[in-house]
Amino acid sequence: MSREIKGIWWAFLIGFYLSFPIDFLLADPNSILDLDLEKTKQWGSFSPKSNEDKILLQSILEEARVRRYYQHPLWLRLLHYESKRNGDYKSKVVNPRFFLAERGENHPNEELEATIRSFFVEEPIPEGLIHPICSFPARHHFIKQMFGVDFLKRKNLRCDRFETWKESLQVDSVSVVFVSYYLASPASVFGHTMLKFNQKTNVENGSELLDYAVNAAADVPNTDPFRYAYYGLFGGYKAKFALFPYYLKVNEYNDLESRDLWEYRLSLNEGEVDLLVSHLWELSRAEFDYYFLNANCGSFLVDVLDVIKPNLNLKEKLGGVVSPVDTIKIIVESKEFVIDKKYRPSLYSEILYFIQEMDTEEKKVFFEMVDKNQKEVIQFSSYESKESSLRLPLVMDAFLLTSRYQSHQKLSKNKINSTNYQTGLEFRSKFPDTTKSLLNVKVPPPPEGTHSKSRIVLGGGTSNLGHFLEWRYRFAYHDLLNFGKGSPPNGELVFLDGTIRQYEGKKIEFTSFTLVRLLSLSPYNSISKQWSYLLDLGFLTTMVRDEHLRFWELGFEQKGNFWQRKQVPNLDLAFGWTFADEFSKTKDNFGTLSFLFGFKSQLHPHWERGGRYGPNVQTMYQKEWGNWKLLGGLHFQHYIGQMEKNQTLPSVTLRYLFSPISEVRLQMKQEPHYQEVSCSFHYLF
């Protein structure tokens, strides 16, 4: 079978595989929802029987048409309409249960009329459903405000289900919560945002974990990584708003995933809080198309806040690509919108604070306990005989937190661990709770301090093929040499990064293009046995042994040149370990060292078998001091079935920061038959 036929065959298989919509996997008919949809559309075309109601209805509808209330900013925001270039509208909501008019998704005037008509409904409400006024309390607020008609009082109607739900929340204030980046899961590499409903009594009692949180997230079934990436980037997932007890989210993010939380309390008056709660009740009927880059938890959160704070124009401040941290930035930058900020460290961060406070002897005892916890029942009382300088409360608190952490990570979960944890709690109770006063908690840089996500680069250099100029553009987000504060620590998250070069006397070449690059270098130690990993997919330029170039390829077209620069598809996958001294207050003194074992694949017809592939070993070293940072790498590559089987590829890059958004880099790298030295200026925006 020829290469062309093989390519067509594979393209057909991939297209066929991805052609089944994710909704097919999620299909789960529900009779009560079907009934609700049917009645919603019926109520949207309701006509009252009494003359009084008919006259009132016609009066309201006529006023709505004359005053064009369907174009009122609040109405458009409540229905999440977006204006198109031709003057039409389209709602972001895709669930028909959210609309009372058949064409309500695209016609705000018809949806306003249908909503008004539904509020006149007098027929008995089927069991399990509620009156439209109770389903859409925020819309009722709008109609009452515009037309001066209170349908609840007029119909002597009580919305018991809504009022009971609202009363259970007891919302006194609202906070936006940012959940830090989690590179161990592709779904969480951007971070996450949600709303938190603060109850005054919980704040006073120190029991804020009993508050409620509202989460907007994609409804993703168990599927393979390829479907996950495809539907996340190009559409296929539906996002919904859901209410959870806050302690469940703290347990999930703070403890299970060891992610720091930042809470930003907003300046909202009582009316704005009521409107927010009412609107979120309505959104329980809504679904949204979900996209990783511009329709995610961050953009949904801004849409909701725009309903209650239209004067801030938060939505207009977002760019074409929206990450959760962008939401935090515009909220913090909005004048007097954030009135308080609170940092909630993850379980792992708390452990680090305790260990960094210990002296050498205390660390020795602590790690001895951690090691024994895997093997035997610990006799905690034996440590009381140690010299008096040993602060056992500090050591025990660190041990108990570590035991919880490793249990969550499934690193130590057996009968011995459970016994040690229980006896450890009993032993710790013998001492006063004084360790918190000993801790010097170093609050990390907040997420709003992170650098801008897009980047342009101008650079140049010299190589064994001559001097060159270089232009680069990166769509998003962060690499190891960027300003690190507020960004994913020890990680890279790169999308759509392209490079163009021109060598002296040669044509311009498209040197490289990174579709996606994920790199997580979480330190591996006796407490957190985290894997490091690398995923890199795109195109790059490499030296290929050949005399002739294809017509579609740019670059060195001189015949007789034995080695040519050619653009090839590239895939890198690697796993390994990263080592760093996280347990001392001067942990940055030693830098970070990583070892990765992986696999590389490149395609080009001039190689044997139409491509080359094989295992590799990579080492990386990072060291930062002040505005300077050093990144060195050594890559050993073996290609199977090639004439040139083994390659060694060293590289060294030195970066200097002028500001969080500007930097200069000096780089030296070598590969077989090619060496270069370059200098480049990077600007982020």
106-150 pLDDT, tens digit each: 999 999 999 999 999 999 999 999 999 999 999 999 999 999 999
Model confidence, pTM: 0.87
Assigned token pair, 352: 């680090």
Output DSSP code: residue 254: I
| pLDDT higher than threshold 70 for residue 13 | no
Q: Compute the distance between CA of residue 146 and CA of residue 601 in angstroms, rounded to an integer.
A: 64
Other residues' Cβ atoms within 10 Å of the Cβ of residue 139: 25
196-228 pLDDT, tens digit each: 999 999 988 889 999 999 999 988 877 766 677
Q: Compute the distance between CA of residue 38 and CA of residue 32 in angstroms, rounded to an integer.
A: 10
Q: Determine which of 188-192, 252-256, 581-585 has the lowest per-residue pLDDT on average.
A: 581-585
452-468 pLDDT, tens digit each: 989 999 999 999 999 99
| pLDDT higher than threshold 50 for residue 523 | yes
| pLDDT higher than threshold 50 for residue 8 | no
R_g of the chain, CA atoms, integer Å:
30
With cut-offs at 50, 70 and 90, classify the pLDDT of residue 30.
Answer: low
Q: What is the mean pLDDT of residues 412-432?
A: 87
Q: Compute the distance between CA of residue 567 and CA of residue 498 in angstroms, rounded to an integer.
A: 12
User: What pLDDT, on a 0 to 100 scale, did the predictor assign at position 414?
Assistant: 75
Assigned token pair, 338: 């954030």
Q: Determine which of 92-106, 266-280, 309-323 has the lowest per-residue pLDDT on average.
A: 309-323
Q: Determine which of 38-52, 548-562, 628-642 has the lowest per-residue pLDDT on average.
A: 548-562
User: What pLDDT, on a 0 to 100 scale, did the predictor assign at position 404?
Assistant: 92
Asked if residues 378 and 420 have their Cβ atoms less than 8 Å apart, the reply is yes
pLDDT above 70 coverage of the chain, percent? 90
User: What pLDDT, on a 0 to 100 scale, did the predictor assign at position 560?
Assistant: 44
Q: Determine which of 242-251, 342-351, 539-548 has the lowest per-residue pLDDT on average.
A: 539-548
Asked if residues 38 and 253 have their Cβ atoms less than 8 Å apart, the reply is no
Q: Determine which of 16-20, 128-132, 396-400 has the lowest per-residue pLDDT on average.
A: 16-20
Sheet hosting strand 192-198, strand order edge to edge: 288-290, 237-245, 212-218, 192-198, 173-179, 261-266, 338-344
User: What pLDDT, on a 0 to 100 scale, did the predictor assign at position 548?
Assistant: 47
User: What pLDDT, on a 0 to 100 scale, did the predictor assign at position 293?
Assistant: 83
Q: Determine which of 20-29, 89-98, 333-342, 514-523 has the lowest per-residue pLDDT on average.
A: 20-29
pLDDT above 90 coverage of the chain, percent? 71
Q: Compute the distance between CA of residue 75 and CA of residue 138 in angstroms, rounded to an integer.
A: 10
- Residue 683, preceding bond cis, omega within 30 degrees? no
Helix, strand, coil percentages in the chain from 3-state DSSP, rounded to 5 = 35, 30, 30
With cut-offs at 50, 70 and 90, classify the pLDDT of residue 586.
Answer: low
| pLDDT higher than threshold 50 for residue 4 | no
Assigned token pair, 394: 């500090």
β-bridge mates for residue 680, sequence order: 459, 665
275-310 pLDDT, tens digit each: 999 999 999 999 999 998 889 999 999 999 999 999
User: What pLDDT, on a 0 to 100 scale, did the predictor assign at position 652?
Assistant: 98
Q: How many CA atoms lie within 13 A of 85 on its CB side?
A: 0
User: What pLDDT, on a 0 to 100 scale, did the predictor assign at position 115?
Assistant: 98
- Max mean pLDDT among 6-20, 93-107, 586-600 falls in 93-107
352-395 pLDDT, tens digit each: 999 988 999 999 999 999 999 988 999 998 888 755 678 899 99
With cut-offs at 50, 70 and 90, classify the pLDDT of residue 23.
Answer: very low
